[in-house]
């Protein structure tokens, strides 16, 4: 009899704990971390959305070069084993985008204003930092955007079966708003600058070249292609002021190779 009572008690406590977890998830938003698969799922949707807005730039040589630089600096990132894919968007807009799960895009407009591999390496490192720091995922959770999705996520979080395609689509739409309209939190952009600077420096590049890039951005803030970047990032001037404090003793710049390999 005693055993039966204890069993019932344990079972009741377990049920209560499960209900409480669910209630907590619903009212408190989505509190657990996204799994790698979920990150990838959300990232795929965001990447597909981006590719719906901008055309993919098809140039095998240049794409391979961007991937080599990106994958090389990624080895010096906090998550060197993560898989990254780098691609180029065919637009004069000056910007770069990172999606959860490792998809990173740079625009042709951005590549056109770069003058060295070191600049490219630090920009790609900045995007890698957004991914390793999970900035977009944090933004999704922070905004508690889910509405009915919160409930779905709560259910999924208990079942542990992933978030599903529909919800990933919903999340990607919100993430796109962050990427193209609202921008990430400014502190996250400064953080990505800082970590990106460290990653490319550790890989051997002169991250100081990134400061030259920010100066270039400052000069062209009124260009039409800069509208989204200016709207979604702290000003180049303020980013410069933050980064100038950092030091990097690496000295690889590679201006000529960048010109040869990109042919821009």
Partner 1 sequence: MLILILFSLFPKYPSEIIFSVLEKNIEIKIISEGEKFRIEVLGKSGEIYYKEKDKIMVLQDNNWKEIKSPLYNENNFFLCLFLEKNENFQSEIEKDENGLKGAVISSKEWGKVNLKRIKFNKLEEIPEGIFPKKSKLNLSKFKSLLMGEDEKEVSATAGARGVGEEENLEAEPNYNALKEVEKITVSKEEVEEFAKEVKSK
Residues 149-178 binding partner 1 (CB under 8 A) are 169, 172-173, 176-177
103: contact with partner 1 by CB under 8 A: yes
Nearer to partner 1, 116 or 157 (CB): 116
Nearer to partner 1 (CB atom), residue 7 or residue 221:
221
CB closer to partner 1, 123 vs 176: 176
Could you give the CA distance from residue 49 to residue 26 in angstroms, rounded to a whole number? 28
Candidates 21, 29, 32, 63; binder of partner 1 (CB under 8 A) is 63
Q: Of residues 26, 152, 185, 252, which one binds partner 1 by CB under 8 A?
A: 252
Q: Does 224 bind partner 1 (CB under 8 A)?
A: yes
Nearer to partner 1, 157 or 184 (CB): 184
Q: Which stretch binds partner 1 (CB under 8 A): 19-27, 79-87, 134-142, 157-165?
A: 79-87
Burial of 75 (0-12, 13-18, 19+ CB in 10 A): exposed
The crossing angle, in degrees rounded to 10, of helices 236-243 and 209-219 is: 160
Answer yes or no whether residue 244 interacts with partner 1 by CB under 8 A: no
Nearest to 26 by CA among 152, 169, 133: 152
User: Per CB under 8 A, does 124 bind partner 1?
Assistant: no
Contact at 8 Å (CB) between 239 and 218?
A: no
Residues of the shown chain interacting with partner 1 in the complex, contacts defined by CB under 8 A: 44-45, 47-49, 51-53, 55-56, 58, 63-64, 67-69, 71-72, 75, 85-87, 93, 103, 169, 172-173, 176-177, 180-182, 203-205, 221-224, 226-228, 230-231, 233-235, 237-238, 252, 254
């Amino acid at each position: 009899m005693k055993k039966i009572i204890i069993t019932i008690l344990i079972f009741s406590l377990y049920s209560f704990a499960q209900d409480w977890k669910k209630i907590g998830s619903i009212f408190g938003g989505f509190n657990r971390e996204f799994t790698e698969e979920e990150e990838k799922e959300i990232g795929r949707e965001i990447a597909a959305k981006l590719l719906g807005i901008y055309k993919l730039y098809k140039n095998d040589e240049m794409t391979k070069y961007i991937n080599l630089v990106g994958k090389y600096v990624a080895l010096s990132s906090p998550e060197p084993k993560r898989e990254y894919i780098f691609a180029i968007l065919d637009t004069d807009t000056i910007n770069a985008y990172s999606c959860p799960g490792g998809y990173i895009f740079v625009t042709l407009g951005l590549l056109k204003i770069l003058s060295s591999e070191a600049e490219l390496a630090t920009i790609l490192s900045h995007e890698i930092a957004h991914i390793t720091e999970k900035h977009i995922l944090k933004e999704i959770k922070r905004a508690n955007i889910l509405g009915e999705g919160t409930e779905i996520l709560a259910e999924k979080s208990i079942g542990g079966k992933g978030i599903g395609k529909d919800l990933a689509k919903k999340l990607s739409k919100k993430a796109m708003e962050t990427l193209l309209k609202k921008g990430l939190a400014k502190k996250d952009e400064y953080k990505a600058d800082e970590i990106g600077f460290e990653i490319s420096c550790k890989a051997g590049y002169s991250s100081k070249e990134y400061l030259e890039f920010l100066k270039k951005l400052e000069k062209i803030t009124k260009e039409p292609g800069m509208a989204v970047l200016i709207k979604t990032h702290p000003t180049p001037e303020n980013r410069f002021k933050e980064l100038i404090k950092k030091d990097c003793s690496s000295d690889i710049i590679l201006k000529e190779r960048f010109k040869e390999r990109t042919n821009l």
